[in-house]
Amino acid sequence: MNRRKSSAAAPKRYALILAAGKGKRMKSNLAKVLHPLCGRPLLLHVLNTLQAREFQKKFVVVGHQSARIRELISGDDIEFIEQNQQLGTGHAVRTASAQLKGLSGSLLLLYGDTPLIQSSTLERLMRARERNNAELALITASIENPSGYGRVIRTPEQAILRIVEEKDATPEERRIQEVNPGIYCFDLRSLLSGLSRLSSKNAAGEYYLTDLVEIFTRAGKKVITLPVETAREVMGINSRVELADAELFLRARINQKWMANGVTILDPATVLIDDTVEIKRDSVIYPGVLLEGATRIGSRCIIRSYCHIQDSILDSDVVVDHASVVRHSRVGKHSRIGPFAHLRQNSIIGEHARIGNFVETKAARVDTGSKASHLTYLGDAEVGKRVNIGAGTITCNYDGKRKNKTVIEDDVFIGSNTQLVAPVTIHKGSYVAAGSSVTEDVPPHSLAIARSRQVVKEGWVREKNKNANHKDQGATSERSSKK
């Protein structure tokens, strides 16, 4: 009887993210890792990348604005380590040594400001260390302008020898274009034994984690490198210029992803889609569109130029016409919004509805088949099915102290230039005459007229003109007599 050989147990893996620094070159009151990139803070991009891989635990070293970082990323699988003094990367890892002591396996170590790193690259790095039984595997990249990065020093046989930080490098070493982006995979036990040998005798007076490369190689331990083809993927964000550069790169990647998934983007260079947005296939995005936050776009939607949609849900077959704004709202199937419409927070638009030109809604529920086609404000309103709201209608929802609700039931017709003074209810099947100011409830199937009676004075204009002519003639005669 043949027995199937059991596969080797998967190696234990841990992740350590360094996120304690202030980021002086950002010139900001906000910690660097909290700066947003395509809808997420930098640190969240890194953590989301790690979600695609299995780790026994993730450790995050925090320092500057640690309370805000803890609030942002708290979770069962994250353990925080406080670094009160920032004395270099080696010091940051030393700070974590108490939590790492006694663990074995692989430790993936990276910075919280490397948001473009891809999960597949990290997997390749960890596998390279594990398959080669190396004490350390690190990513390297070749860039035209290596300023600010540690240079990779190799032997004549191209084996890695050490990493020299720019402050300590000679002019010849500074010309080297292969750099260390700071993404490592360590054998945990080797890392912990090597930390005690780090020294701060360098130009910065800091403990460099990169010194472990030379410490390991001198001790005969195995150190390997993983060069990456796209250097930008592994670069850290240290300035506003680099943040903007990363934004362009990531937005292009996001747009390419959605086009590959069946979304038409007519001009990708002008369309900005956050990393948090979801879009279903066969939707069409026109130039100049901005999609932000937790926005969800259904199938076969059309978003025309210069629309801004934030934290909103569009069901399938919705059209959002030119220059419309939709925030914190939901739009049902086969409905049409705009052009120049503004859906503010907590607006819920039903199926087959119409919110047209220069219509604004706020905390309004508009049910199936209803329409407000132009020049209307619906605030704190509940609109039933098959309601027609004429141009210039206003729900007067604020009495100076509190917001009040307007209820318009099914099959109501609201004439143009109507003011509905809340709290008020227009019951089912009623008509409100154009130009009315409605302050009382309207019973079902009734006609409400709330305006002054029209008065017509026949011949009034001729009489007015006749009187004006008499006055002009009198004035002329008076001027002539004075002469």
- The set of catalytic residues is 374
C-alpha distances out from residue 257 to 108, 240, 304, Å: 27, 25, 20
How close are the terminal C-alpha atoms of the chain, in Å? Answer: 138
Output the six-digit token pair for 390: 């004429």
> How many other C-beta atoms can be found within 10 angstroms of the C-beta atom of residue 167?
11
Q: Are 54 and 61 in contact (CB under 8 A)?
A: no
d(CA 362, CA 11): 54
ω into residue 227 within 30 of 0, thus cis? Answer: no
Question: For the stretch 72-89, what's the b/e string if a residue is b when 16 or more beta carbons lie within 10 angstroms of its beta carbon?
Answer: ebeeeeeeebebeebbbb
Output the six-digit token pair for 109: 């170590």
Amino acid present at 117? I
What are the backbone angles phi and psi of residue 290, rounded to the nearest 5°?
-120, 120
ω into residue 339 within 30 of 0, thus cis? Answer: yes
Partnered with residue 151 across adjacent β-strands are: 164, 179
Calculate the CA 237 to chain-centre distance. 17
The pairs formed by 83-88 with CB atoms below 8 angstroms and a separation of 24 or more are 83/20, 86/20, 86/21, 86/22, 87/200, 87/205, 87/206, 87/207, 88/200, 88/204, 88/206, 88/207, 88/208, 88/209
